Amino acid sequence: MRARGRKGLALIAGALLVTLTACGGGDSGSGSGDGKGKDAGAQQGKQSAAAVTISPKSGATGVDTSGALKVNVAKGKLTEVTVKDAKGAEVEGAITGGGASWTPSTHLAAATKYTVHAVAKDSEGREAAEDASFTTLTPKNTFIGDFTPEDGSTVGVGMPFSVHFTRGITDPRAVEKAIKIKTEPAVDVEGHWFGNDRLDFRPEKYWKSGTKVTVDLDLDGVEGRAGVYGKQHKTLTFTIGRNQVSYVDAGKHTMKVTQDGKVIKTIPVTTGKPGYDTWNGQMVMREKLAVTRMNGETVGYGGEYDIKDVPHAIRLTDSGTFIHGNYWGGDAFGNYNASHGCVGLRDVRGGYDKDVPAAWFFNHSMSGDVVVVKNSHDRTVDPGNGLNGWNMSWADWTK
């Protein structure tokens, strides 16, 4: 019994010795204490020196839609910046300054949450990343743009893309930048402002037949004037139809209708009588009305006329110039000018006869077709009176 006890004590002592040796291994220089210090130092040495900062700070609300979002890095270069809205749509932007910063290339949408992920590398290629999220402001005052032509429409070769804004614009560059137009086949399209509430886009010459035009009307979040933001984002397309241009000679009282440069019909007309001469120049068809009322009081001619059933009317200017059917003109067509400024074509009351010149022309015309008037005794129509910017030189248009 005693012998076994001493043996047990010896074993315990041996075990204690082994344990103490293991615990005291630091004295031998081979224990885990120094090892842990070296690993920590090596790990610390792997940390990137690049420091990424995102503005605005994560969690910010009421952020402005322009100028507030920026990503910068110190002691490194940005290699990746991804900004997305809640639906996953990415915001375009560019890394600049040799990798020192990133800014968006467009405005942000209003009342929208965005997430930012940015990655940078230091001089030794070690990566650092930063993430943030923020929400843009909800505007109290907004505007939209009423546009023509409509989405999906087919129009004539003279139709511009025209936007009329519901508020006067004081930052036209910001608004114009937010409207992107692409064409197939490609052609240079430029915008021109008429006043502070209308912006038209067109190419230098009439569109080519078959051209497909795509418009990205991205006004959402654009500060068009102080404290007033766009609330509209729409993508639309329209197609250019056959090339029809009609030439009215006010002196000869005729109109030649051409398609693709070839005369397909010559029609006798009457234009504005002396004192009420028709505008000269290129005028684009804006709307077609099978029947409409024409009252002199609406265009400053008092009670000189009030015709409740004018047939086959096509608007050429905002000020009231039409090319339309005329059933009361007698023998004026092709002989003398008798209208108050419109171009009249022979018609019948009620517009039921499809064979009369006015009906034929109405049925062979579409919005965007061009009517060119020459040899009238009045001046050229103002480019902003209707969709008639073609009366402005390309140099003036692009100023």
Amino acid at 104: P
3-state secondary structure of 27: helix
Q: 């234009």: which residue's tokens?
A: 271
342 is catalytic: yes
Say how far apart CA 85 and CA 49 lie, in whole Å: 30
HSE, side-chain direction, 13 A CA sphere, residue 305: 14
Q: Which is nearest to 154 in space by CA: 259, 239, 242?
A: 239
**Residue 145 corresponds to which amino acid?**
G
Per the listing, tokens 């509209």 go with: 232
How many Å separate Cα 194 from the centre of its chain?
17
In whole angstroms, give the CA distance from residue 190 to residue 399. Answer: 10
- Give the chain's end-to-end CA distance (angstroms, integer): 115
Short-list 364, 366, 344, 367, CA closest to 354: 364
Task: Return the structure tokens found at 332.
Answer: 């004026």
Angle at 235 between CA 396 and CA 153, to 5 degrees: 80
Largest CA distance in the chain: 148
Of 312, 324, 340, 377, which one is the catalytic site residue?
Answer: 324
Q: For this structure, is 324 an active site residue?
A: yes
Active-site residue identified among 192, 342, 364, 377? 342
Find all residues with CB under 8 Å of 27, minimum gap 6, and list them. Answer: none
Cross-strand bridge partners of residue 257 = 246, 265
Pick the closest to residue 271 from 256, 291, 250 (CA basis): 250
Which are the catalytic amino acids? 324, 342
